[in-house]
Amino acid sequence: MPATAWGSWRRGLLTNLLNPKIGAFYVAVLPQFIPAGTSHLAVGLLLALVHDVEAMLWFTAIIFGAHSARRLLAARSAKRAIDGVTGTVLVGFGLRLGLSTK
């Protein structure tokens, strides 16, 4: 079954909400940026919103970049070049390991 944009968004939201590192980040990092004498809830929500907007912009850039790279890397010549470079590196590592004295 192909993934839909809505299904992917829901999966990402659920993954983020269930990730304990996100909660730890908000509890450990954001309070230090809340000025004294202001509403902690309002400023905390504003900072969380800024963090969310930055994340959405960043992941949008990654999605479009990956989509462009996919078109370039799907070409037969690109696949052969990647396979050639990968094979050469692996043979080089094997030779280095085989010729090592330790």
For residues 21 and 43, the answer to whether their CB atoms sit within 8 Å is: no
Residue 1 has what pLDDT?
Answer: 58
End-to-end Cα spacing for the chain: 51
Per-residue pLDDT of 16-68, as tens digits, reads 889 999 889 888 988 999 999 999 999 999 998 998 899 889 988 998 999 88
Q: What is the mean pLDDT of residues 10-20?
A: 88
Residue 96 has what pLDDT?
Answer: 95
Number of neighbouring beta carbons within 10 Å of residue 5: 7
pTM of the model: 0.59
The number of helix segments (H) and strand segments (E) in the chain equals 4, 0
